[in-house]
C-alpha cells in the first residue's frame, strides 16, 4: 500500500536543528576552502583536519597545499579534494561561513553625526 503512494515517499520528518544542514550546500560552509597549488586553485573541505574541525585555529579562505600535506598527508589531501563541489549537500559538520568584519568608521546613516 505504501509503495503505490507517491506522497508517502516524499514526506520526511526534519528536526528543526537539522534543517540548516539539509538545505545548505558545501559552498556556504566555513570548512570549504580554496586550496592553492603551484599552478591551479581547487576547492575542498578541511573539516577532517582536527585543528580546524575543533576551531582551534581560524579556518582561512585560501590555504596552500604544502600546509595541508603537512597536516593531513597525501591520503588526507585526497579526501579533502574529493569534497570539492560547492553545490554538494552539506555534511553533518556544516557551520555557516563567517561574514568578514566591517571596516572601522563605516556606520549606517542613522548613526552618523550631523555636521
Instruction: Tell me the per-residue pLDDT of 1-14, one tens digit each, with 9 for 90 and over.
Output: 455 655 555 566 76
Question: Could you tell me which residue, 58 or 19, shows the higher pLDDT?
Answer: 58
Query: 45 CB contacts (<8 Å, ≥6 apart)?
Result: 26, 29, 31, 32, 33, 80, 83, 84, 91
Mean of pLDDT values over 53-68? 91
At residue 36 the predicted structure's pLDDT band, cuts being 50, 70 and 90, is very high
pLDDT at 100: 67
Give residue limits of the domains in the chain: 16-96
CA-based nearest residue to 94, from 79, 78, 105, 83: 83
Q: What is the value of pTM for the model shown?
A: 0.69
Query: 60 CB contacts (<8 Å, ≥6 apart)?
Result: 33
Amino acid at each position: 500500500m505504501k509503495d503505490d503512494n507517491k506522497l508517502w515517499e516524499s514526506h520526511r520528518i526534519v528536526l528543526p536543528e537539522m534543517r540548516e544542514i539539509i538545505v545548505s550546500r558545501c559552498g556556504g560552509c566555513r570548512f570549504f576552502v580554496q586550496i592553492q597549488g603551484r599552478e591551479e586553485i581547487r576547492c575542498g573541505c578541511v573539516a577532517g583536519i582536527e585543528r580546524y574541525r575543533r576551531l582551534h585555529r581560524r579556518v582561512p579562505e585560501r590555504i596552500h597545499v604544502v600546509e595541508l600535506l603537512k597536516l593531513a598527508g597525501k591520503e588526507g589531501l585526497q579526501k579533502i579534494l574529493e569534497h570539492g563541489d560547492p553545490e554538494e549537500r552539506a555534511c553533518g559538520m556544516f557551520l555557516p561561513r563567517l561574514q568578514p568584519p566591517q571596516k572601522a568608521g563605516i556606520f549606517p546613516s542613522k548613526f552618523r553625526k550631523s555636521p
